Chain A
Amino acid sequence: DTEVTQTPKHLVMGMTNKKSLKCEQHMGHRAMYWYKQKAKKPPELMFVYSYEKLSINESVPSRFSPECPNSSLLNLHLHALQPEDSALYLCASSSRTGTYEQYFGPGTRLTVT
């Protein structure tokens, strides 16, 4: 089973709200990723967690705060977002960061009003 699940599927939030995105995988993968994807653009890497530790932060603004509570779960906490942060947020996992096959979830479509 190569499934990565993400909740919620859609999220609308105001600029003063706090919300969280959730990602889960049960493949025993030890690397998990957050990507942001704008329409008709490729995914842009935001964060990488390797063995539950943050290993890459691609200079993402602090209004995005990742968390990896355990090896199966990845959260992205959102606070004081801007309308330009509206995008599809994708979670991915791979068996470890040294491997190249990343499996993506369906994404959360976020709209910031």
Chain B
Amino acid sequence: QKEVEQDPGPLSVPEGAIVSLNCTYSNSAFQYFMWYRQYSRKGPELLMYTYSSGNKEDGRFTAQVDKSSKYISLFIRDSQPSDSATYLCAMSELYNQGGKLIFGQGTELSVKP
């Protein structure tokens, strides 16, 4: 079993839809949770990060962490064609193992006009 599981999609939604992206994990030592967005042929861009459980909101994006269920989510409201990208979740233990992030497989999202 992989440490982090993420549905690779692809996920296709109409413009304006609410998108829900999810990851599950098995390592209860993970404390830091990040979402990266990667456009085709570009490097990953850090979207949001959260520590431990709870919600964090930034504009149209909301990140949720449920440590009891070992489940994290990223919600995108009013999705736009410019949101079409691959979304990667990433996680890290409290003492970070020297900088090691554990990535999910990435979910490919397409928002159709």
Q: Which residues of A contact B (CB under 8 A)?
A: 4, 6, 31, 33, 40-43, 45, 48, 50, 55-56, 88, 90, 92, 94, 97-107, 109
B100 at the interface (CB under 8 A from A): yes
**Known A90-B43, A100-B34, A107-B42; contact A43-B103, beta-carbon cutoff 8 A:** yes
Inter-subunit contact A41/B99 (CB<8 Å): no
Total CB contacts across the A-B interface at under 8 A: 66
Q: Are B100 and A56 in contact (CB under 8 A)?
A: yes
Partner of A50, one of B41, B95, B98, B103: B98
Contact B42–A40 (Cβ < 8 Å): no
Q: Are B98 and A97 in contact (CB under 8 A)?
A: yes
A7–B109 CA distance with the chains assembled, in angstroms? 28
Q: Is B75's CB within 8 Å of the partner chain A?
A: no
Q: In this complex, what residue of B is CB-closest to A55? A: B98
With contact pairs A42-B104, A100-B92, A101-B34 given, residues A56 and B99 touching in the complex (Cβ less than 8 Å): yes
CA distance A90 to B36 in the complex (A): 14
How far is the CB of B107 from the nearest CB of chain A, in Å?
11
* Known pairs A90-B44, A97-B99, A104-B44 / 8 extra A-B pairs, C-beta < 8 Å: A4-B43, A42-B104, A48-B98, A50-B98, A56-B98, A104-B43, A104-B45, A109-B41
In contact, B100 and A102 (Cβ under 8 angstroms): no
